[in-house]
Structure 1
Amino acid sequence: MSTFVVFDLEYTTWPGAVEGNWSAPGQLREIVQIGALRLNEEYEVVAAYEALVRPVANPELSPYFTELTGIDQESVDRDGLPPARALDAFLGFCAREAVLSYGNDMTVLAENAAWAGVRGEQLGNSLLTPAFLNIRPWLNAHAPGTTGVNSGRLWQALGLPGPTVPGGEHSALFDCHSLAAAIGHVCGKGARLPEGCV
Structure 2
Amino acid sequence: MNYIIYDLEFNQKPSVLKNIDRDNISKLPFEIIQIGALKLNNNLDTISTFNALIKPTLYKTIHPFVEDLTKITTEQVNLCDTFPEVYKNFLNFIGSEEITFCIWGSSDIKELIKNIKFHNLPASSISKKYIDVQNYVSKHFNAPNGTRIGLRNAVELFNISTKTEFHDAFNDAFYTTEVFKKIYNHNIVSKTYEPFPSRRLHQPKEKIDTNALIFQFEKMYNRKMTKDEISIIKTAYMMGKTKQFIKNESE
Give the TM-score category using the shorter length: 0.7 to 0.9
Equivalent residue number for residue 55 of structure 1: 56
In the TM superposition, what is the alpha-carbon distance from 1:149 to its structure 2 partner?
3.6
The count of corresponding residues between Structure 1 and Structure 2 is 177
Partner amino acid, structure 2, of 1:170: H
Tell me, yes or no, if the aligned pair for 2:33 and 2:53 is still in contact at 8 Å.
yes
On the 8 A contact 1:54/1:81 being kept in 2, the answer is yes
Deviations 1:61-116 (A, max 9, x none): 011101001111111111x2111111222233234311111112111011101110
Per the alignment, in what secondary structure is the counterpart of residue 12 of structure 1? strand
For the residue of structure 2 that corresponds to 1:183, the secondary structure is helix
- In structure 2, the partner of 1:135 is 133
Q: Structure 2 length as normaliser, TM-score?
A: 0.61
Partner of 1:195: 189
Q: Tell me by how many angstroms 1:59 deviates.
A: 0.6
Identify the match of residue 174 of structure 1 among 171, 174, 180: 171
* TM superposition shift of 1:12: 1.2
CA contact (8 A) 2:137 2:149 kept: no
- Which AA in structure 2 matches 1:139? V
Question: Which one-letter code corresponds to 1:11 in the other structure?
Answer: F
Runs of 5+ in structure 2 lacking a partner?
16-21, 192-251
**TM superposition shift of 1:158:** 2.0
2:110 equivalent to 1:107 = yes
Q: What is residue 116 of structure 1 aligned with on the other side?
A: 119
Aligned to 1:31: 32
Local SS of the residue matching 2:159: coil
Q: 1:8 to 1:115 in 2, by over 3 A?
A: same
Measure, in 2, the Cα distance between the counterparts of 1:28 and 1:56. 13
What is residue 20 of structure 1 aligned with on the other side? none
Gaps of 5+ in 1: 17-22
Contact 1:88/1:123 (CA < 8 Å) preserved in 2? no
Superposed displacement of residue 168, structure 1:
1.2
Number of the residue aligned with 1:85? 85
TM-score normalized with structure 1 length: 0.76
RMSD: 3.0
**Per-residue CA distance 1:34-75 (angstroms, 9 max, x = gap):** 001011334332100111111111110011101001111111
Could you say what secondary structure the match of 1:176 adopts?
helix
- Using a 3 Å threshold, how does the CA distance of structure 1 residues 61 and 153 change in structure 2: closer, same or farther? farther
Measured in 2, the distance between the counterparts of 1:67 and 1:39 equals 31
8 Å Cα contact 2:137/2:154 also seen in 1: no
Change (3 A) 1:90 1:130: farther
Is residue 35–residue 51 contact of structure 1 (8 Å, CA) maintained in 2? yes
SS at match of 1:47: strand
Tell me, yes or no, if the aligned pair for 1:153 and 1:178 is still in contact at 8 Å: no
TM-superposed CA distance for 1:153, in Å, is 4.8
Q: Which residue of 1 aligns with 2:237?
A: none
| Identical columns (%) | 20
Q: Residues 100 and 193 (structure 1 numbering): CA distance in 2 closer, same or farther, change over 3 Å?
A: farther
Compare relative contact order (CA 8 Å, sep 6+) and give the higher one, 1 or 2.
1
Q: Label 1:132 to 1:87 Cα distance change in 2 as closer, same or farther (>3 A).
A: farther
| Rg (Cα) greater in structure | 2
